[in-house]
Structure 1
């Protein structure tokens, strides 16, 4: 398993690494530029003087400069005369050579043969604590002796400047790195603190505590995350309350027929009721119980958003007709008629016939219960949607009833167990549709609105 790192450590590491990388690049670039400047300056100065040789009237034991050599910011160009045996001839115009002078350091380097007498090019020499560049030109004295002119320039001042500035940069880099670590630690703490708070909030939700998080965050992203988590918490809280209410109501609804069955069975057992009276009641309650259990199972499946529905492309007109035919005997018994307002062309939709049929049956059952003379079923297409209308000519319903109509286990006037219409809403929602209710003194209309697949194909 990959080792996990804390967010604070990661932020500190990234900030420190970035600052360190930037300073290393600056430090390296600075040293390269200064070194390049020192070398190019020395090379330029020595190149201008390397063509100067020993004047024709120069004696073996006396050398004098022919002209003053150019100066550069690092220092002036000087020269020594050296024999092929590395004997240094110090010109008499030089002041007394001390051990701390650049001339002494170069003279010592020559005598130790640390300087090559090969002609051509500019070479680097580190002697003592100084930095020098030199070039060698071969010449001849009046006596015919081979001499080598060692032209050199002392670049120690620039070299010392480079070292001092490098040390200063290193000091600045160290201070900046320390400040970065401190500021990074504070910044990381500022980032990690709300993340930890959100983590605690998420843990609370997992443990069933759905109270809102009241903390405010100044960062937009964290504020948006908190808002989403609060909304999720509200949904989970409502879902839990709905589930609790659902199971309380379900247990009550299941207990009622079971108690009736039990009491009739006990009365039958002790002879308080005759079989002819007890058995029909028990059978009716068993049917009621079975219907209720089926509805609860269907609701559970829809709540779980099961994807195993066997959908196929079918004609909604045929499904509505088949659903209404199951109520024909009841319609005849109550003296009701059904009027169909269907288009001539098929109205295709992809669905599982069993679930949508169940929704239509619940709507029809509700219409049969409250209709006075007629029920109207209609299907139409408009504006990229399919409209299915189930309408009765009953007395209508109160506004308070209409608002609670789709709540689970809410029983309206003459209602049964109160989950029929909630099943309708869940089924329609599973197909990305919605249901609306219009009610007045002339009756009630349930309008199912589904997305039209034919229109969707052209989008």
Structure 2
């Protein structure tokens, strides 16, 4: 069943329930109010009759006086203490036969339902006591058919039924109109998704009316998601292009030297040494690039790290010893206390430090400073270089995957734009933070904070 049909049926059913409750309340209030009015009128008539009887000394004319108060389809009785009628007048013999008289010492009313050949009818009966010399020896009883009530009740039921049917019809039409309005943005989302599925090209949902509701929020969120997908696709396309170029160059070199060896053989030692050295260098470069890609893929699927106690001072010293021997650069390590122990995955934290130092080495020629510090909650690693720096407008993008500040230097530096993204992913797994402060031409400082 379509959502529009469900909305239509649910709103109509809810409206019908509300109308039924309102109809019942209106009917009950109408009946109660109408009967109360009839009771008040009959009690008023009964009081008037009692006064006339008490002021009239001639008992023989009582029934004549009672006849003056008769209305259509009614009776009037004066009852003795033994439930015996002293006086009775009526213009509806059937009614008097069905309703037996009753003596009472208190004022009371009663509504009864009697069955007739043409249906049921309601009878309203009121009884009031008659005082004679401060004694109650008899009571007055008045009964009449509520013919007008039945007619008004039937009219009211007819009006309520018609109004209910009309309301249900309008509810169906309104529910359909409302569901179409609600579903239009969702239908646009579905249509856009189907277009994307068929064409394979991401596209946004057109937003025409600014309704500022949840559906517009849905459309805007979808559009932001499409923007992000488009950005990632552009970055991935750029990465594929760059990676292809990077792989093409070493493969070309390897193939060239292999052809050289095939043409000239292994007779010339200097050519063989040069070819072997070049092939080894380029193969090593390809291996490093592949390892970087594998690291990235591993981090995407990894949610748990093996936490052990790691001494940042000892770890940094070992890393610097290795890098100094390879790069012959001045790298200064500064720490105020030792050891600085944190809970972390040692291999991954080592990878982060190496990535940050590798960037500092690539883009600077002066000294590199590393400082270690800690407080009660976290440890801080600062790596500062005095190299070319990063433009201010590029800093916010520096951690994006496949992003490089200067794409022209990619071939020289050997970067793929994945190092800082890998570093940030590792730090995130450790619930830490990594921030960069840089000024173009003055150098860069990377601040890494990890929880103790």
TM class by smaller structure: 0.7 to 0.9
TM-score between the two structures when normalised by the length of structure 1: 0.73
What secondary structure sits across from 1:327 in the alignment? helix
Alignment partner, residue 134 of structure 2: none
Q: Please report how far the alpha carbon of residue 21 of structure 1 lies from its aligned counterpart in structure 2 after TM superposition.
A: 1.7
Q: Please report how far the alpha carbon of residue 317 of structure 1 lies from its aligned counterpart in structure 2 after TM superposition.
A: 2.9
Superimposed CA distance per residue, residues 188-221 of structure 1 (whole angstroms, 9 cap, x where no aligned partner): 1111111211233344455643233232342422
Alignment of 1:18 with 2:14, yes or no, is: yes
Of 237, 246, 250, the residue aligned with 1:257 is 250
Distance 2:273 2:302 in 1: 44
Distance 2:332 2:303 in 1: 35
Superimposed CA distance per residue, residues 234-289 of structure 1 (whole angstroms, 9 cap, x where no aligned partner): 11111112122222322332232223223323332333564333222222222111
Q: Please report how far the alpha carbon of residue 43 of structure 1 lies from its aligned counterpart in structure 2 after TM superposition.
A: 6.3
Alignment of 1:288 with 2:279, yes or no, is: no
Alignment partner, residue 436 of structure 1: 436
Q: Please report how far the alpha carbon of residue 151 of structure 1 lies from its aligned counterpart in structure 2 after TM superposition.
A: 4.7
Superimposed CA distance per residue, residues 343-370 of structure 1 (whole angstroms, 9 cap, x where no aligned partner): 2154444443323322322333344445
Alignment partner, residue 63 of structure 2: 64
Aligned-residue RMSD, C-alpha: 4.4
What secondary structure sits across from 1:341 in the alignment? strand
Higher share of residues assigned helix: 2
Q: Is the 8 A contact 1:376 1:390 kept in 2?
A: yes
Alignment partner, residue 274 of structure 2: 277
Distance 2:215 2:393 in 1: 42
Residue 370 to residue 185, structure 1, CA distance change in 2 (3 Å)? closer
What secondary structure sits across from 1:10 in the alignment? helix
Of 108, 125, 137, the residue aligned with 2:114 is 125
Q: Is the 8 A contact 1:316 1:348 kept in 2?
A: yes
Residue 424 to residue 352, structure 1, CA distance change in 2 (3 Å)? farther
Residue 227 to residue 435, structure 1, CA distance change in 2 (3 Å)? same
Residue 212 to residue 350, structure 1, CA distance change in 2 (3 Å)? farther
Alignment of 1:170 with 2:161, yes or no, is: yes
Alignment of 1:185 with 2:176, yes or no, is: yes
Alignment of 1:201 with 2:198, yes or no, is: no
Distance 1:203 1:382 in 2: 54
Alignment partner, residue 224 of structure 1: 217
Residue 125 to residue 266, structure 1, CA distance change in 2 (3 Å)? same
TM-score between the two structures when normalised by the length of structure 2: 0.74
Alignment of 1:318 with 2:343, yes or no, is: no
Q: Which runs of 5+ in 1 are unaligned?
A: 82-89, 95-102, 138-148, 455-459
Alignment partner, residue 87 of structure 1: none
Alignment of 1:453 with 2:442, yes or no, is: no
The residue correspondences of 1:21-40 to structure 2 (distance < 5 A) are 21-37=17-33
Alignment partner, residue 413 of structure 2: 416
Superimposed CA distance per residue, residues 14-37 of structure 1 (whole angstroms, 9 cap, x where no aligned partner): 322222122212222232233344
Alignment partner, residue 229 of structure 2: 236
